[in-house]
């Protein structure tokens, strides 16, 4: 039997002109995914590639990805930071394999020993003139014409971002004043890296970005959050959304009156169980280190960067797409260079809150996969993203999906939908 064609399911078409309705094919379609890599990650966006603390000295480098594009980020002899494609111009092999390290002057491809300086320029070709005048490269071969692609870099508060596009605006303009201020609130002095790992997730990359921006789910999905009052919708706080929609910062302010409300119990939400207690309550022993009462702030930069402050647990996260139904989430925990031993111990303890087996975010490692499986045969259907209205403006509540809608506003702009 012929199935009538539904134009809403055609990749490239939006079911209606609303960021409160998102078609499920955007998480499934291979052509759409290829378009994302080109237009979003390799387009006019700033992509997080490392921390300045990762590469403090000449020759220090990290490898990373911008979408599917493998890159090397390295500190040069003048203190500058360069980023270039991790691809040998000869036969396309990776130039560097390790996550990071230090080199003296040149990277050398393991395949045929072509070498590249700290700016990504081709500097050496093994047996370029052949052997005894026989073989080798043509005399008119121009090394400068064959180099890995170079990316523009910028730094902000110890973060390093890169872009392939000459049209990407300065990072301050890209972020906007409010989001910029929220980054500077946390990253207000030199940092030190405390640990890192990569988490494989069984879902489309956009589902995780939505999850990060989704303040509605936090105290509903995460029993720990609500039970121990780390973040609840009944506490103070709100959501900031950049004018273009792409960036956000959500925040929670601890208020004493939250201990008196029965809102969660009245709705049968499972966060009022007084039997749940911590064997070691010092886990949540918190110092207010940023001059305000914000106990949780989650901030995102489009397309795939997250800055986290949960009490004194600080981290950056990076979303790396691996196909329509897979992604990697790269975590880097950090503290500050001037942390006391007591603060270092506090941060190490609170790092148990978040991560693949964290008291909080282990659920986030599952729920994206639940959605990916749930929409497997629903490419022509849409999600409903209407908590708090249908617009993308900042709101003085977290019972909203304004920042999720903001992501789709920015996404549609960059994708041309």
Q: Where in the chain is the domain with CATH 3.90.380.10?
A: 176-415
C-alpha to C-alpha distance for 386 and 404, rounded to whole angstroms: 10
Q: Are 82 and 118 in contact (CB under 8 A)?
A: yes
C-alpha to C-alpha distance for 202 and 158, rounded to whole angstroms: 31
Please name the residue that has the structure tokens 């259907």: 381
Q: Which two tokens stand for residue 367?
A: 């729920």
Range list of H helices, 74-120: none
* Model pLDDT, residue 60: 98
* Model pLDDT, residue 302: 98
Q: Is 263 left (phi over 0), alpha (psi -120 to 50) or beta?
A: alpha
CA gyration radius for the chain?
23
* Model pLDDT, residue 2: 46
Q: Are 32 and 45 in contact (CB under 8 A)?
A: no
* Model pLDDT, residue 3: 44
Per 3-state DSSP, the chain is made up of helix, strand and coil in percentages (nearest 5) of 25, 25, 45
DSSP 395: B
* Model pLDDT, residue 260: 64
Q: Is 291 left (phi over 0), alpha (psi -120 to 50) or beta?
A: left
Helix H, strand E, coil C: the string for 334-367 is EEECCCCHHHHHHHHHHHHHCCCCCCCCCCHHHH
C-alpha to C-alpha distance for 417 and 413, rounded to whole angstroms: 7
* Model pLDDT, residue 10: 55
43-78, pLDDT tens digit by residue? 999 999 999 999 999 999 999 999 999 999 999 999
82-109, pLDDT tens digit by residue? 999 999 999 999 999 999 999 999 999 9
Q: Which two tokens stand for residue 108?
A: 């050398």
Residue 200, SS3 per DSSP: strand
DSSP 94: -
Residues of the chain with pLDDT below 50 are 1-8
Q: Write the CATH number of the domain with boundaries 176-415.
A: 3.90.380.10
> How many CB atoms are closer than 10 A to CB 177?
11
Of 355, 274, 264, nearest to 308 by C-alpha is: 355
Q: Could you report how far apart the first and last alpha carbons of the chain are, in Å?
A: 32
* Model pLDDT, residue 284: 87
Q: Where in the chain is the domain with CATH 2.102.10.10?
A: 47-155
Fold of 47-155: Rieske Iron-sulfur Protein (2.102.10)
* Model pLDDT, residue 26: 96
* Model pLDDT, residue 271: 59
Type and span of the H or E element at 158: none
Give 404's contacts (C-beta < 8 A, 6+ positions apart).
Answer: 210, 213, 214, 385
By residue count, the chain amounts to: 417
C-alpha to C-alpha distance for 299 and 286, rounded to whole angstroms: 20
- DSSP annotation string for 135-157: SSS-TT--GGGS---EEEEEEET
* Model pLDDT, residue 7: 40
> How many CB atoms are closer than 10 A to CB 394?
17
């Amino acid at each position: 039997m012929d199935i009538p064609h539904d134009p809403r399911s055609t990749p490239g078409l939006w079911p209606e002109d609303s960021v409160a309705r998102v078609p499920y094919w955007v998480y499934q379609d291979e052509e759409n995914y290829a378009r994302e890599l080109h237009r979003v990650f390799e387009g006019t966006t700033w992509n997080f590639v490392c921390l300045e603390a990762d590469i403090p000295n000449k020759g220090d480098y990290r490898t990373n990805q911008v979408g599917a594009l493998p890159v090397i980020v390295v500190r040069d002899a003048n203190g500058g930071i360069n980023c270039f494609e991790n691809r040998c111009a000869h036969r396309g092999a990776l130039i560097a394999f390790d996550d990071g390290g230090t080199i003296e002057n040149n990277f050398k491809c393991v395949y045929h020993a072509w070498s590249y300086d700290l700016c990504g320029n081709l500097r050496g070709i093994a047996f370029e003139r052949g052997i005894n005048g026989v073989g080798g490269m043509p005399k008119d071969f121009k090394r400068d014409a064959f180099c890995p692609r170079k990316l523009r870099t910028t730094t902000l508060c110890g973060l390093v971002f890169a872009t392939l596009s000459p049209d990407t605006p300065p990072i301050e303009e890209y972020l906007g004043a409010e989001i910029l201020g929220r980054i500077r609130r946390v990253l207000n002095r030199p940092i030190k890296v405390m640990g890192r790992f990569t988490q494989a997730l069984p879902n489309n990359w956009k589902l995780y970005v939505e999850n990060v921006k989704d303040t509605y789910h936090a105290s509903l999905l995460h029993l720990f959050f609500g039970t121990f009052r780390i973040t609840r919708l009944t506490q103070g706080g709100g959501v900031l959304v950049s004018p273009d929609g792409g960036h956000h910062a959500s925040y929670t302010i601890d208020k004493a009156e939250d201990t008196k409300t029965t809102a969660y119990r009245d709705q049968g939400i499972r966060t009022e169980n007084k039997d749940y207690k911590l064997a070691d309550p010092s886990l949540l022993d918190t110092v207010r280190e940023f001059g305000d009462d914000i106990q949780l702030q989650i901030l995102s930069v489009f397309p795939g960067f997250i800055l986290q402050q949960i009490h004194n647990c600080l981290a950056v996260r990076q979303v790396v797409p691996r196909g329509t139904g897979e992604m990697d989430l790269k975590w880097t925990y950090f503290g500050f260079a001037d942390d006391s031993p007591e603060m270092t111990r506090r941060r190490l303890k609170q790092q148990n809150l978040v991560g693949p087996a964290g008291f909080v975010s282990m659920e986030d490692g599952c729920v994206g996969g639940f959605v990916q499986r749930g929409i497997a045969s629903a490419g022509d259907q849409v999600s409903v993203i209407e908590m708090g209205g249908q617009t993308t403006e900042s709101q003085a509540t977290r019972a909203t999906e304004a920042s999720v809608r903001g992501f789709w506003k920015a996404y549609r702009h960059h994708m041309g939908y």
